Amino acid sequence: VPDVVKVFIDSGQELPALTRGLIAASAGLQAHGLLMLLLVAGAAVGVHLALRRPATRLAWHGLQLRLPVVGKVLRASNCTRFTSTLAILGRSGVPLVDALEIAAEVVANQRIRTSLKDVARSVREGGGLTRALERSGHFPPMMLYLIASGERSGELDAMLDRAATQQETQLANRIAMLVGLFEPAMLVFMGASVLLIVLAILMPILSLNQLIT
Q: What is the structure's pLDDT at 189?
A: 94
How many angstroms separate the CA atoms of 117 and 40, rounded? Answer: 36
Quickly state the pLDDT bin for 11 (edges 50, 70, 90): low
Of the pLDDT bands very low, low, confident and very high (cuts 50, 70, 90), residue 65 is confident
User: Helix/strand/coil (H, E, C) string of the chain?
Assistant: CHHHHHHHHHHCCCCCHHHHHHHHHHHHHHHHHHHHHHHHHHHHHHHHHHCCCHHHHHHHHHHHHHCCCHHHHHHHHHHHHHHHHHHHHHHCCCCHHHHHHHHHHCCCCHHHHHHHHHHHHHHHCCCCHHHHHHHHCCCCHHHHHHHHHHHHHCCHHHHHHHHHHHHHHHHHHHHHHHHHHHHHHHHHHHHHHHHHHHHHHHHHHHHHHHHHC
pLDDT > 70? residue 1: no
Per-residue pLDDT, averaged over 54-78, amounts to 87
Q: What is the pLDDT of residue 168?
A: 87
Supply the pLDDT for residue 191: 93
Domain ranges of the chain: 37-66, 69-167
Does pTM surpass 0.85? no
Higher pLDDT, 205 or 178: 178
In angstroms, the CA 104 to CA 69 distance is 23
Chain centre distance of CA 75: 11
Determine phi and psi for 87, rounding to 5 degrees.
Answer: -65, -40
CATH class of the region 69-167: mainly alpha
Mean pLDDT (whole number) for 194-207: 82
